[in-house]
């Protein structure tokens, strides 16, 4: 196979979910909810199939969804976009990230990514022929060191690939951190690709989009997705917003990756984006309670818990329980306790920084989280 596949192997999520099924373990590895999104959304897709939304939709997405995305950006962030030229619907955020990297990265260009990083970033950068340059968010606070970010920039740097709220740490970048990122991007004329799929899953603090900062509109590729906000991770409806030039560039790549995305899901997601604040508030409150249940329980078991401000994930340091290597720990966990979790190490170039850290997904029913905690007493 081609060199660009070297080191990519099988994604950790596929590996760990297969292990969970094979061992009958409680799966707190891959981040997907065990309850589907709102009935109105599910019924919307069924109705759309029955109504004949089964052929290629427009390449940039159906007008109703592009308008709903625009309305959402206005309603939550006061950002104004033109639905015809500034929005692109994609096959999940994953495709948006890959297409954005293909659109902006020349072979040999450097892409600075916050480490630990979501695993598709490494693949997307490799496919574009870029070089990945990590800037590490260090435990236990996972704050961004702006001096380190500044020091990572070279004449070859093309893109800052930012993710906030951040998977796997659950960090929400602060206003100061976001301002620092913007200043560096402006000073060095960099493109910023910002993955904001967890925008509505913030329990402490608030999410502010990078595109809302002065001077950023022209150079920012903003990415989100319906998967997390509406608990339909298998639908793979994502989107890009940005300047007309940005959206055209990303679409030039996207149109030859998949051409279009999920026809019957698009009208359903359009309706869901317009749900009232009560929907978004309840989503957040439910997940906050689950975060606290699992974080408190893991703490009682003796883990050092890094309680996240956002996302689906809690990170723990496993050293207080006498373990030192997260990969070994996660490989033994199904047999020892019947639970699956994800080792942080796979998200790092500087593997030492992630070695004793393990990620646990809490987007599961409370009784499932409780069962996992009961099983973990066997450790």
Q: Is 31 in the site for ligand GLN (CB under 6 A)?
A: yes
Here's the x/- map for ligand PMP, 110-139, by CB under 6 A: it reads as --------x---------------------
Shortest Cβ distance from residue 22 to ligand GLN (Å)? Answer: 17
* Residue placing its CB nearer to ligand PMP in the complex, 203 or 323: 203
* Residue placing its CB nearer to ligand PMP in the complex, 134 or 238: 238
Q: How many residues bind ligand GLN (CB under 6 A)?
A: 5
- DSSP helix/strand/coil, 259: coil
Q: Is 197 in the site for ligand PMP (CB under 6 A)?
A: yes
* Residue placing its CB nearer to ligand GLN in the complex, 31 or 165: 31
Both tokens assigned to 207: 């999410």
- DSSP helix/strand/coil, 107: coil
- Which segments within the chain are labelled E, that is strand? 26-27, 87-91, 110-115, 131-136, 157-163, 191-195, 220-225, 237-241, 304-306, 313-317, 339-340, 342-343, 357-361
**Binding-site member from 94, 220, 260, 266 for ligand PMP (CB under 6 A):** 94
**Binding-site member from 207, 219, 236, 290 for ligand PMP (CB under 6 A):** 236
Q: Is 167 in the site for ligand GLN (CB under 6 A)?
A: yes
- Among ligand PMP, ligand GLN, none, what binds residue 93 when CB lies within 5 to 8 Å by partner kind? ligand PMP
Whole-angstrom CA distances from 149 to 143, 171, 178, 182 are: 12, 16, 12, 11
Residues 278 to 337: which contact ligand PMP by CB under 6 A?
none
Q: For 196-207, b where at least 16 C-beta lie within 10 A, e where not — what string?
A: bbbbbbbbeeeb
For the chain, helix, strand, coil in percent to 5 are 45, 15, 40
Residue 317: phi, psi to the nearest 5?
A: -95, 130
Q: Is 315 in the site for ligand GLN (CB under 6 A)?
A: no
The region of 128-136, 205-213, 231-239, 347-355 touching ligand PMP under the rule CB under 6 A is 231-239
For the beta sheet containing 220-225, the strands, ordered from the edge strand earlier in sequence to the opposite edge, are 87-91, 237-241, 220-225, 191-195, 157-163, 110-115, 131-136
* Residue placing its CB nearer to ligand GLN in the complex, 30 or 266: 30
Question: How far is it, in rounded angstroms, from Cα 379 to Cα 376?
Answer: 6
Q: Is 345 in the site for ligand GLN (CB under 6 A)?
A: no
Question: How far is it, in rounded angstroms, from Cα 73 to Cα 358?
Answer: 34
Q: Is 356 in the site for ligand PMP (CB under 6 A)?
A: no
Q: How many residues bind ligand PMP (CB under 6 A)?
A: 13
> Contact at 8 Å (CB) between 291 and 297?
no
Shortest Cβ distance from residue 169 to ligand PMP (Å)? Answer: 11
**Binding-site member from 164, 169, 171, 225 for ligand PMP (CB under 6 A):** 225
* Residue placing its CB nearer to ligand GLN in the complex, 177 or 195: 195
**Cis amide prior to 165 (ω within 30 degrees):** yes
Q: Is 227 in the site for ligand PMP (CB under 6 A)?
A: yes
CA 241, 244, 246, 252 torsion-angle sign: positive
**Binding-site member from 25, 27, 30, 229 for ligand GLN (CB under 6 A):** 30
**Binding-site member from 167, 169, 251, 315 for ligand PMP (CB under 6 A):** 167
CA-nearest of 67, 99, 95, 94 to 81 is 67
- Among ligand GLN, ligand PMP, none, what binds residue 224 when CB lies within 5 to 8 Å by partner kind? none
Q: Is 13 in the site for ligand GLN (CB under 6 A)?
A: yes
Positions that interact with ligand GLN (CB under 6 A): 11, 13, 30-31, 167
Positions that interact with ligand PMP (CB under 6 A): 92-94, 118, 163, 167, 195, 197, 225, 227, 233, 236, 238
């Amino acid at each position: 196979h081609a060199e660009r596949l070297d080191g990519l192997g099988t994604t950790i999520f596929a590996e760990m979910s297969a292990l969970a099924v094979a061992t009958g373990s409680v799966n707190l590895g891959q981040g997907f909810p065990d309850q589907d999104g709102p009935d109105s959304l599910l019924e919307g897709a069924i109705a759309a199939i029955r109504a004949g939304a089964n052929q290629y939709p427009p390449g940039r997405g159906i007008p109703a969804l592009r308008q709903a995305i625009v309305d959402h950006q206005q309603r939550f962030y006061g950002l104004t976009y033109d639905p015809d030229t500034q929005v692109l619907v994609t096959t999940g955020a994953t495709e948006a990230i890959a297409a954005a990297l293909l659109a902006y990265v020349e072979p040999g260009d450097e892409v600075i990514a916050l480490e630990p990083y979501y695993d598709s970033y490494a693949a997307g950068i490799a496919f574009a022929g870029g070089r990945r340059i990590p800037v590490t968010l260090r435990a236990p606070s996972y704050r961004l060191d702006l001096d380190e970010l500044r020091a990572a920039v070279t004449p070859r740097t093309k893109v800052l690939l930012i993710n906030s709220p951040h998977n796997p740490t659950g960090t929400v970048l602060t206003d100061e951190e976001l301002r620092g990122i913007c200043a560096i991007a402006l000073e060095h004329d960099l493109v910023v690709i910002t993955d904001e799929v967890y925008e509505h899953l913030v329990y402490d603090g608030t999410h502010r989009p990078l595109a809302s900062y002065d001077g950023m509109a022209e150079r920012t590729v903003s990415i989100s997705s319906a998967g997390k906000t509406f608990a339909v991770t298998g639908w793979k409806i994502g989107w890009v917003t940005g300047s007309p030039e940005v959206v055209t560039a990303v679409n030039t790549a996207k149109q030859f990756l998949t051409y279009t995305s999920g026809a019957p899901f698009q009208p359903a997601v359009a309706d869901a984006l317009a749900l009232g604040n009560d929907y978004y508030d309840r989503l957040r409150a439910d997940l906050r309670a689950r975060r606290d249940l699992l974080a408190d329980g893991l703490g009682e078991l003796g883990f050092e818990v890094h309680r996240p401000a956002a996302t689906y994930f809690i990170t723990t340091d496993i050293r207080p329980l006498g373990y030192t290597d997260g990969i070994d720990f996660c490989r033994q966990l199904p047999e020892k306790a019947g639970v699956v979790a994800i080792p942080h190490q796979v998200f790092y170039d500087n593997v030492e920084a992630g070695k004793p850290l393990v990620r646990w997904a809490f987007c599961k029913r409370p009784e499932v989280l409780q069962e996992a905690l009961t099983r973990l007493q066997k450790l």
